[in-house]
């Protein structure tokens, strides 16, 4: 297990689980959301262009996302694998990733779909907004991000199911139990 994608609504726990797995498997955790948030905080050219989309809960346009991902997946530290969190987010991004993987000879091992009911998601995100001060964890933006997820990202569940790469894990349980279940389905060492 060296190349893995996390799917799941905002707030499903992708970041937390991806970070843990990246330590267990010793491969980089690549979060496009983190990359954009850092770019916004540093007010780089990319950050200035992405800020509006992050603040409103919309997807950053593909032309800003795809080159960034290609650059990241050709860096030296990903030779032994990667864990993608927040990418791909729509069918065009997934198709791009398919092509890129073929070019780089980096096939995906598995796509994890973390399942959490919407009502749990909303309360988790409101909580995170209060605790971490994330500017996109306000109730209005949360609703928009959930709509965007359903319209644009959820179709990827079938996209990867058809490729027989998908495993679904119940994300509505205590964090350590999700980690343990993931370790079991992915057959990676935990403890």
Minimum distance between the CB of residue 36 and ligand AMP, rounded to whole angstroms?
5
C-alpha 54/C-alpha 60 separation (Å) is: 7
Q: How many residues bind ligand AMP (CB under 6 A)?
A: 17
Which residue number places its CB atom closest to ligand AMP? Answer: 33
Residue 6 in the binding site for ligand AMP (CB under 6 A): no
C-alpha 32/C-alpha 109 separation (Å) is: 20
Among 27, 30, 46, 59, binds ligand AMP (CB under 6 A): 59
Q: CB–CB of 83/25 below 8 Å?
A: yes
Among 3, 29, 89, 124, binds ligand AMP (CB under 6 A): 89
| Region for residue 83 given its phi and psi (left: phi exceeds 0; alpha: psi -120 to 50; beta: otherwise) | beta
List the Cα angle 147/9/146 in 5-degree steps: 15
Catalytic pick among 3, 20, 89, 124: 89
Among 7, 13, 22, 33, binds ligand AMP (CB under 6 A): 33
C-alpha 38/C-alpha 44 separation (Å) is: 9
Catalytic pick among 3, 14, 37, 124: 14
106-165 residues near ligand AMP, rule: CB under 6 A:
136, 145
Among 65, 97, 116, 178, binds ligand AMP (CB under 6 A): 65
Q: CB–CB of 55/136 below 8 Å?
A: yes
Minimum distance between the CB of residue 88 and ligand AMP, rounded to whole angstroms?
6
C-alpha 142/C-alpha 144 separation (Å) is: 5
- Comparing CA positions, the residue from 1, 174, 176, 3 lying closest to residue 87 is 3
Minimum distance between the CB of residue 49 and ligand AMP, rounded to whole angstroms?
11
Name 3's bridge partners. Answer: 82
> Which residues lie near ligand AMP (CB under 6 A)?
10, 32-33, 36, 53-54, 57-60, 65, 86-87, 89, 93, 136, 145
Instruction: Enumerate the active-site residues.
Output: 14, 89, 128, 134, 145
């Amino acid at each position: 297990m060296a190349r893995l994608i996390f799917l799941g609504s905002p707030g499903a726990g992708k970041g937390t689980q991806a970070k843990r797995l990246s330590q267990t498997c010793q491969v980089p955790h690549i979060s496009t959301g983190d990359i954009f948030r850092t770019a916004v905080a540093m007010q780089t050219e990319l950050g200035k262009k992405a800020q509006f989309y992050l603040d409103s809960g919309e997807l950053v346009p593909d032309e800003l996302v795809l080159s960034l991902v290609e650059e990241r997946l050709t860096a030296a530290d990903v030779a032994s694998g990667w864990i993608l969190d927040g990418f791909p987010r729509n069918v065009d991004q997934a198709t791009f990733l398919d092509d890129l993987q073929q070019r780089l000879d980096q096939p995906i091992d598995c796509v994890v779909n973390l399942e959490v009911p919407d009502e749990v998601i909303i309360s988790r995100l409101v909580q995170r907004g209060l605790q971490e001060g994330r500017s996109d964890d306000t109730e209005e933006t949360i609703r928009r991000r959930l709509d965007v997820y359903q319209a644009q990202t959820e179709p990827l569940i079938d996209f990867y199911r058809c490729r027989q790469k998908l495993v679904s894990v119940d994300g509505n349980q205590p964090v350590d139990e999700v980690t343990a279940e993931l370790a079991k389905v992915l057959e990676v060492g935990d403890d």
